[in-house]
């Protein structure tokens, strides 16, 4: 499955309906990793601000009570070890923060953080040598972090792009788990140039705002965006995406009112044109094929689509589509956002468009298979998964999606075969471990099934709730 979510409809509905409150973050563990990469051999010269910005921001985090590790000019192996140490320090309920300044590349609809020794000549090299931001956030989530924050100052014109035939500048929107707050130093797909000052305008503004007592992280980031936009006269506009349910505060205390707060987007009064009302996901039911039914229509999904109309990622992607209706990538990314929030039928419509524009979009086929499986449209879902695997044999995400489909259909042996194949590619794929465990128990392999379920729950304590949200128990 390309997109991972549990009872997202209930969570999003709660976020929409409930007033925001301050989380008890002052007592929760706080861990951070701050990376400044400046000395890239492929660049004409070292980045002038990456290391100094990282040092300054690491100091700010330590003053705010974070157990923050500072790392500079990391190779690929060193970056992976640094992230592994962060994961080990992340305990259930913790607030985990990642700051990265250096070069970043978007490839395959994801943003990758690039180590200094990366050998990048083709786009597959990006996925081999880079660290995917979405993977970092998902791993922090699986470790139980209640708040996940990513600050990325990597919207630079990098030295690798001239080697690609097809290249998208800047960074891509991130599909982050619930409880995440992500901020880029510049707008999606935009690039900025370092100036000659000791620190970037982004970190200079951010450092000031996170010091304010009682100011929520989301408001601090909004103020940072306003300050950077004004300082650059609109040439650099940071991008923010938030799915926090509670306000996280860097410095506890009474909120200050000495600065005007950045205006937040007004609630949408109607869905955007391309995001027509979708249908609610099915209730969790036993996984027999005869009981798999399409979701019934209702007002809950209408509310989701209305709420998402003002989501920064949805707004940005909708604007891209309006400007260029042939942009299949924008349809695909927006479909991911809708699906991750539970607006499955609206997501399927976007995947439809992505596939219409590019009949070989293997990831769109896989995600449409997954979304159709969740709402019980099993026959067309199977055709989508089969097509994805025809286009890309042994595609681990499609194997995982088809395994879920077989599980919902009651074809347990077929599900085990697909999950086995997925786990050969990625032995730590939690959803395949859990799905195989359920299937094994159904066919009488109780002890083997329990081992799979226990292993999956250790990797992701919420995996059971996720499958229950799919209608599989």
Output the average pLDDT for the chain: 81
Average pLDDT for residues 323-345, to the nearest whole number?
A: 85
pLDDT, residue 168, reads 57
Would you identify the CATH topology of the domain 11-242? Rossmann fold (3.40.50)
pLDDT, residue 277, reads 29
Better-predicted residue by pLDDT, 404 or 258: 404
Better-predicted residue by pLDDT, 81 or 164: 81
266-283+291-392 is a CATH 1.25.40.10 domain = yes
Please check whether residue 31 is in contact with residue 86, taking contact to mean a CB–CB distance below 8 angstroms: yes
pLDDT, residue 301, reads 62
Work out the percent of the chain whose per-residue pLDDT is above 70: 82
* Cα gap 237→213, rounded to integer Å: 25
* Cα gap 131→196, rounded to integer Å: 28
Average pLDDT for residues 365-389, to the nearest whole number?
A: 94
Find the range with the poorest average confidence among 2-16, 140-154, 369-383, 427-441: 2-16
Find the range with the poorest average confidence among 11-20, 84-93, 156-165, 208-217: 11-20
pLDDT, residue 163, reads 58
Find the range with the poorest average confidence among 74-88, 206-220, 303-317: 303-317
Please check whether residue 220 is in contact with residue 263, taking contact to mean a CB–CB distance below 8 angstroms: no
Per-position DSSP letters for 284-304, written without gaps between them: P----GGG--PPPP-HHHHHH
Average pLDDT for residues 232-242, to the nearest whole number?
A: 88
* Cα gap 451→447, rounded to integer Å: 6
Backbone angles phi, psi at 249, to 5 degrees: -115, 130
Better-predicted residue by pLDDT, 47 or 163: 47
Which structure tokens are listed for 444? 């009488």
Please check whether residue 324 is in contact with residue 354, taking contact to mean a CB–CB distance below 8 angstroms: no
Would you identify the CATH topology of the domain 394-473? 1.25.40
Give the pLDDT band (50/70/90) at residue 353.
very high
Find the range with the poorest average confidence among 255-269, 286-300, 362-376: 286-300
Find the range with the poorest average confidence among 207-221, 226-240, 333-347: 333-347
Among residues 382, 313, 366, which one has the least CA distance to residue 341? 313
Give the pLDDT band (50/70/90) at residue 414.
very high
pLDDT, residue 167, reads 52
Average pLDDT for residues 418-442, to the nearest whole number?
A: 90
pLDDT, residue 209, reads 92
Please check whether the two domains, 11-242 and 394-473, share a CATH topology.
no
* pLDDT tens digits, one per residue of 194-225: 776 778 999 999 999 999 888 999 999 999 99
Q: Describe the crossing of helices 133-142 and 76-89 by its angle, rounded to 10 degrees.
A: 30
Listed by start position, the domains of the chain span 11-242, 266-283+291-392, 394-473
List strand residue ranges (DSSP E) for 349-450, in order: none
Instruction: Assess whether pLDDT exceeds 50 at residue 260.
Output: no
Average pLDDT for residues 360-388, to the nearest whole number?
A: 93
pLDDT, residue 3, reads 53
pLDDT, residue 188, reads 83
Better-predicted residue by pLDDT, 5 or 147: 147
Instruction: Assess whether pLDDT exceeds 50 at residue 18.
Output: no
Better-predicted residue by pLDDT, 189 or 364: 364
pLDDT, residue 395, reads 86
């Amino acid at each position: 499955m390309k997109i991972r979510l549990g009872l997202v409809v209930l969570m999003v509905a709660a976020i929409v309906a409930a007033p925001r409150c301050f989380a008890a973050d002052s007592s929760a563990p706080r861990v951070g990793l701050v990376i400044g990469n400046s000395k890239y051999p492929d660049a004409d010269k070292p980045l002038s601000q990456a290391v100094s910005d990282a040092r300054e921001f690491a100091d700010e985090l330590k003053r705010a009570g974070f157990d923050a590790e500072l790392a500079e000019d990391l190779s690929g192996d060193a970056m992976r070890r640094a992230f592994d140490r962060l994961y080990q320090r992340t305990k259930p309920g913790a607030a985990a923060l990642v700051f990265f300044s250096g070069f970043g590349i978007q490839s395959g609809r994801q943003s990758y953080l690039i180590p200094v020794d990366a050998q990048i000549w083709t786009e597959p090299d990006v996925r081999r040598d880079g660290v995917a931001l979405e993977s970092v956030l998902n791993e922090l989530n699986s470790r139980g972090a209640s708040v996940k924050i990513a600050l990325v100052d990597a919207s630079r014109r990098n030295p690798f792009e001239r080697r690609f035939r097809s290249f998208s500048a800047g960074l891509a929107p991130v599909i982050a788990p619930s409880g995440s707050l992500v901020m880029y130093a510049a707008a999606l797909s935009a690039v900025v140039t370092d100036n000659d000052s000791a620190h970037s305008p982004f970190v200079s503004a951010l450092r000031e705002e996170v010091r304010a007592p009682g100011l929520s992280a989301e408001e601090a980031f909004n103020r940072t965006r306003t300050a950077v936009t004004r300082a650059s006269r609109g040439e650099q506009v940071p991008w923010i995406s938030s799915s926090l349910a509670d306000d996280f505060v860097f410095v506890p205390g009474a909120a200050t009112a000495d600065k005007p707060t950045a205006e937040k987007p007004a609630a949408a009064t109607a869905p955007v044109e391309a995001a027509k009302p979708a249908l609610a996901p099915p209730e969790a039911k036993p996984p027999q094929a005869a009981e798999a039914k399409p979701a019934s229509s209702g007002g809950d999904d209408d509310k989701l689509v209305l709420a998402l109309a003002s989501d920064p990622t949805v707004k940005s992607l909708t604007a891209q589509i309006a400007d260029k209706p042939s942009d299949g990538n924008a349809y695909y990314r927006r479909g991911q956002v809708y699906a991750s929030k539970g607006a499955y039928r609206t997501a399927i419509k976007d995947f439809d468009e992505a596939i219409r524009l590019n009949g070989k979009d293997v990831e769109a086929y896989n995600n449409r298979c997954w979304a159709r499986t969740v709402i019980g449209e099993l026959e067309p879902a199977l055709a989508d998964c089969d097509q994805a695997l025809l286009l890309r044999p042994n595609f681990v995400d499609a194997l995982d999606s088809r395994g879920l489909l077989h599980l919902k259909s009651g074809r347990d042996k077929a599900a085990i075969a697909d999950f086995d194949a997925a786990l050969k590619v990625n032995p730590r794929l939690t959803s395949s471990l859990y799905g195989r465990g359920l299937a094994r128990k159904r066919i009488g392999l109780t002890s083997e099934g329990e081992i799979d379920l226990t292993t999956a729950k250790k990797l992701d304590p919420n995996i059971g709730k996720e499958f229950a949200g799919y209608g599989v128990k």
